[in-house]
Structure 1
Amino acid sequence: MKVSSMGYQVVVVAACVALAACAGTHPVRYTGLESSTQLQPNANDSSGRVPYNYSSGANWRKYSNAIVEPVVVYSGADSQFENVSEDQKKELAEYMRAQFTEALKEKFTMMSQPNVHTLLVKLTLTGAKPTKQFVGTVTKFDLAGGPYNAVQSIRGKEGALSGSVSYAVEIYDASTNQLLSAYVAKQYPNAMNVKATFGAMSASKTGIKKGAEDLIARLN
């Protein structure tokens, strides 16, 4: 008995969706971070996007300037890169610095040297997962993935076979080198965002944009 091509695709996609539903990774308290020992479970995060954080209770209003260091690509054994090449890591790191810098410009004057009233922002790219090409797009509409992704979209959760990005943000007082805030996070597109499925790194880049928006919201 032969299985039709369409039927085979539905079976494959259904299996992939089932696997995606239970195989999602979560950011960890990366041991190679400077702030690792200060990061604590984030009891105020119900989304699962920011499972660990640290806050000194800093008054952000006293800071008018910011420095964004070049993004570090995390190389620890607990990194969470899935089938991402070194070139792709470099591409994401450069994109991340550009996006976070652009977001911070809304509130701060960007500086190149430490000074008073200046934040030093250290970004670490700790993981990324590319979108499964073709299949990732199909799951937005097919009978197997469509309903699952629709529910995930409403819940603000990760879509099936979608890409993502994981990273750490550490914010210091540039003049004293005091750690003011730190957190690890995972970002990804809305589960029904079709545009973010075109290009292996598109979803990760969408996640980076969301991460930059999240940072400036935290500092307001």
Structure 2
Amino acid sequence: MNSSPLTRRLTLQRLRAWLALLFLLLAVPITALVWHTYGQLKWEAFNQYRGVAEELSDRINAELAGHVQLAESRSFADYSYLVVAGDTTAPFLQRSSLSELPVVEDIPGTLGYFQIDTHGQFSTPALPSDNTPPQSVGIGPADLRVRQMHAARLLEILSENQLLDHGSGRGDDLADAVQPEEWRSTTEQDRQQTAMNASDTS
């Protein structure tokens, strides 16, 4: 039985409509599946990055806690230029490990060591006490200049951040001995070279 052209045209139109409807019905769940998969990947990446960040934070905190514990284990006397070493039966004086220049960096970026006592007095192990002549502990004029510049730099940083009065402790003496512009214009390499020359001549 032959169908008329009108019947064939209607059949093709219906077929196209059914195919379009089928594609539409398939597109909806596929789109939803793709969107859900994208969301899952996004959250998995977020959780992965969060895990890495937490691990890094734990490592930083552990290392920082170690540095803090090391600093707290030092006594008040360790921040002096000379410390008492040896046992109680045969004590002797030696340089504090914190007095070395260039600075031994326990923490990367350490500029130097200092302490402020209960009276707000500033001191640094880079310099001997006022009643100790520098020459008597092996500090020559050039080395003394380097150490004064180092102490003045620490004092200036504390003063600029309003953590210490510039006149506290040895601040006035350092201000008279070293002008801030002097240590600012001197590079770290120059100070290290001066310290090496001073150690060679002392």
TM-score calculated relative to the size of structure 1: 0.24
Higher helix share: 2
| Structure number, greater radius of gyration | 2
User: Quick one: higher RCO (CA 8 Å, sep 6+), 1 or 2?
Assistant: 1
Higher strand share: 1
